Amino acid sequence: MKVLIAANGNTLNDLIARRFESATWFLIADTHNLHVTCVENLGPRSRQEIVARAVNEGVDTIITSGLGLQSYNLAATFRMKIAIAPEMAAREVIQRIRGGKLPIFESGIIGEIVHEQILNRMHQRMHFREKETRGAIRRTLGTRS
């Protein structure tokens, strides 16, 4: 099995990046023979090229600690699976995959979670803005009375 690991460095000893978007390196790793190809993350366009390259090399799973909506959409476009592996070294992730101890999800399931989190954040912002507006109205009315 080949995986694309979002990492903080270019070795299997480096930690998984906190977010797919903030990875400094991407490791295309074969979980059977531990062959690794390292590709530096140079920005959004680079990530798209890296994911496309990984798919062409037989990768079907992204490993990260978290990902945003754009990255999720990129993964979904290529019908990639996603595994969330916070605070682990890349080598540990591969060992867990080999042992069947790292859950790997279809991108659709992760998408539902990402969208739910975005909706929750939007709701919280709207609620905060509503409170701000009410407070401003009260202050305005209070100063006029």
What pLDDT digit, counting tens, does each position of 21-31 carry? Answer: 999 999 999 99
Task: Say if residues 25 and 45 touch (Cβ distance below 8 Å).
Answer: no
pLDDT confidence tier of residue 93, bands split at 50, 70 and 90: very high
- Which CATH superfamily includes the segment(s) 2-106? Dinitrogenase iron-molybdenum cofactor biosynthesis domain (3.30.420.130)
Average pLDDT score over residue span 95-117: 76
Nearest to 32 by CA among 67, 62, 3: 3
Predicted TM-score (pTM) of the model is 0.74
What pLDDT digit, counting tens, does each position of 41-91 carry? Answer: 998 888 889 999 999 999 999 999 988 878 888 888 888 999 889 889 999
Domain chopping of the chain, boundaries:
2-106
